[in-house]
Chain A
């Protein structure tokens, strides 16, 4: 499912808002989530899961083209942990 398919499905299900409204709502929600993470704040969605930042230590990497060493700084990467309900319903679907 892509973002535009998600928009369609929400429009069909919701029945009151226009495609434009739903599109804007999804953009607002995703921006809000990205902004929270960028500020180091966790996201906790009950039943769905949580998003947080994981730290990656500085390391020496290599330029794959030249083989030259490059020092990479430590950085944060987004991490998602599925909630119990999502984890269980997805796992139960394996038998379908």
Chain B
């Protein structure tokens, strides 16, 4: 059980009265615009929810875990997510039955 784009579109259809095509397109465009911003090395700040940041990592030494051979891990750019205060508070008190 996980929330997917399809369910998000359903809610836009039910609650906002967008037609099904508009709702589906809205969800697609939403994630697509965030992705495009990140691909252009532009941070995304969604107040209340959180920030998607970019971090450039330098090359570092690594190892092939199977053979033990040393191989450098190349320089890379990664996306990180920092939840906003509001989201943190919302989620903090989830009374999960089994900690992961």
As a 0/1 sequence over residues 68 to 96 of chain A, the CB contacts with chain B under 8 angstroms (1 = contact) are 00000011111110100011011101101
Contact: A28 with B15, CB < 8 Å? yes
Question: B1-39, CB under 8 A of A: which get 1 and which 0?
Answer: 111110110011001101000100111011101110111
Report chain B residues within 8 Å CB of A77.
Answer: 83, 88, 91-92
Q: Which residues of chain A are within 8 angstroms of B47 by Cβ–Cβ distance?
A: 2-3
- Closest residue to A43 on the B side, CB-wise? B3
> Tally of A-B residue pairs with Cβ under 8 A?
164
Q: List chain A positions with a Cβ less than 8 A from chain B.
A: 1-3, 6, 9-10, 13-14, 16-17, 21-22, 24-26, 28-30, 32-34, 36-55, 57, 74-80, 82, 86-87, 89-91, 93-94, 96
A81 vs B22: C-alpha distance when bound (angstroms): 27
Chain B nearest CB from A3 CB (Å) reads: 5
Contact between chains at B1 and A76 (CB < 8 Å): no
State whether the Cβ of B63 lies closer than 8 Å to any Cβ in chain A: no
Chain A residues in 8 Å Cβ range of B22: 16-17
Partner of A1, one of B8, B37, B100: B37
Q: Are A41 and B2 touching (Cβ within 8 A)?
A: yes
Q: B66: shortest Cβ distance to chain A, in Å?
A: 22
B79 touches A94 (CB 8 A): no
Say how far A31's CB is from chain B's closest CB, in angstroms: 9
Q: From A33, A49, A54, A94, give the contact of B100 (CB < 8 A).
A: A54
Task: Determine whether the beta carbon of B2 is less than 8 Å from that of A74.
Answer: no
CB neighbours (8 Å) of B49 from chain A are 30, 33-34
